[in-house]
Structures are given as C-alpha cells and as structure tokens.
Amino acid sequence: MAAKLRLPTLALAALSICLSLAIIGCAGRALNIFDVQHSSNVWLLPLWPNHFDTRELQTLLGTSAAILVLNSINIAAIFITTLPANLVILTTTLLSTISALTAITFPAVLNSHAPRRDTLQSWTCRWTHHSSTSNAPAQFTTICQETRFAFYTTIPIFLLQLLLLSLALHAIVSNRRNGRAHHATTDNVFAMRLGSDAEKSGSLHELRPVQQVSVGGKREESFREGRGGW
C-alpha cells in the first residue's frame, strides 16, 4: 500500500475497532442483565424467554467481534511488510463491510416485528416512555439506552468500512497503474537500447568498407613505390 494511504487506513481501522468495542460492551451488558434476571424477579421476567427475541443483541455482538478482528488484521497488514497488504486489506474490508451491513439490517428487521414479538430494545424503551414507569425495573432505562447505542453505532461503523473499502480499491488501482507505467518505461528503455545498438552496428558496417578501401589504397601505393624503386 502507498505511504500516503497507510495513515488514513490506520486511523479509520482504529476508530472502527473502538466503536466495535463500545458495541460489544453495551450489547454484552444488556444481554447479561437479561440472562441474570429473566429466571426469577418480581416483574414476571420469566415470560421473557417465550416472548422476547434476543437475536438482535447476539447479532450485534457477533458482527462487532468480526469487525474488530478484521480491522486488527488490516492494521497488522500495514506494519508487516511480508504480507500482500493491498489484497489483505481489500478482503478484510469487504468482509467487515458485509458484517456492518448485517448489523444494521437484521436488528432493524427484528425491531420492526414489535409489539408482536419484542426485542430487548423495543420492550425496555416502551416501558421507559410509558406513563407508569414507576412500575418498571430500574435498569430498563439503562438497557434501553445501551441497546439503542449499540444499534445506532453500527451506522458510523458501516460508513467507516465503506471508506476503508474505497481506500483499498484505490490502492489496488493505483498499484496496477504504476505497474503498467513501469512496464511501459522499461519497454521504452529497451527499445531505445535496441535502437542505439542498431545504429552502432550500422555505423560499424559503414566503417568497414571505408577501412578496407583505406587499407587497399595504402597497399597499392606501397606496391607502386616498390616497383618504382626497382
């Protein structure tokens, strides 16, 4: 990868990793609260396993972990010179972009099924905005905020992955153009060398008859001088 593209790629990948860690922290905490409280509490939360869909948070956790690992590979490819950086970054950014798109679309589809089938986000946020919020668990507000943050943070991550993908494509296209320009320069130099060699060989061919005529003329003069001496 070109030196001018390394710093932007490194910055975008590092920012994407930070946002992925934030999603993992918020979604993991909300899911942990649900797992701890759904078995026994005073708010009849045992109904949650039969009514709630936790695949939203599971998807956010899985895709964020995948994006974190893929962007870590991007950073490693920048510093490890033995790796084909352009190919590695293109592959990993393409996969991370697909993961980020999945993190946006799948939870959005699940939340659209509420109230027929609620997610942790739709249920806790509905209780938070209800008129009788005093009857709701105290942690419902926190779960609502954390699940919303985890979901909406996938949007800037998706934009970051698109930027990384565009940088990877630009690096590959620039590398191919530079390779073609290098080959064209090499061909021109080779052609110039062939032309100079041909000119040199032509000059040698032209000089040989002249040398032969000169040598022949000298021999003839020497022969004439010899005959005159006799």
Question: Residue 12 corresponds to which tokens in the numbers above?
Answer: 């975008």
DSSP label at residue 183: H
Q: Using one digit for the tens of pLDDT, what is the confidence trace for 33-57?
A: 887 776 655 555 554 555 678 889 9
Task: Please report how the helices 154-229 and 140-152 are oriented relative to each other, as an axis angle in degrees rounded to 10.
Answer: 20
Grouped pLDDT means (10 residues each) for the chain, 230 residues: 81 95 94 76 54 86 96 92 85 95 94 82 78 60 90 96 93 75 53 57 55 52 48
Here the tokens at position 121 are 């986000």
**Model's pTM, two decimal places?**
0.72
What lies within 8 Å, CB to CB, of 14 at 6+ separation is 71, 75
Residue spans of the domains in the chain: they are 3-178
**pLDDT (0 to 100) of residue 131:** 46
**Residues 170 and 6 sit within 8 Å (Cβ to Cβ):** no
pLDDT for res 165 = 93
Under 8 Å between Cβ of 164 and 13: yes
The encoded tokens of residue 19 equal: 């946002």
State the pLDDT at residue 200: 56
User: What pLDDT, on the 0 to 100 scale, is given for residue 21?
Assistant: 97
Please report which residue ranges of 82-139 form alpha helices under DSSP H: 85-111, 120-128
Determine contact, residues 13/76, Cβ cutoff 8 Å.
no
Residue 56, classed as helix, strand or coil, is helix
Give residue-wise pLDDT tens across range 118-140: 888 888 888 776 545 455 666 77
pLDDT of residue 188: 55
Residue 79 tokens read as: 């510093």
At residue 181, the pLDDT reads 55
| Joined tokens for residue 36 | 């701890």
Candidates 126, 141, 123, 138; CA nearest to 56 is: 123
The answer to whether 56 and 121 are in contact (CB under 8 A) is yes
Compute the C-alpha angle 131/135/141, nearest 5°: 75
What is residue 5's predicted lDDT score, i.e. its pLDDT? 81
Is the peptide bond prior to 115 cis by the omega test (within 30 degrees of 0)? yes
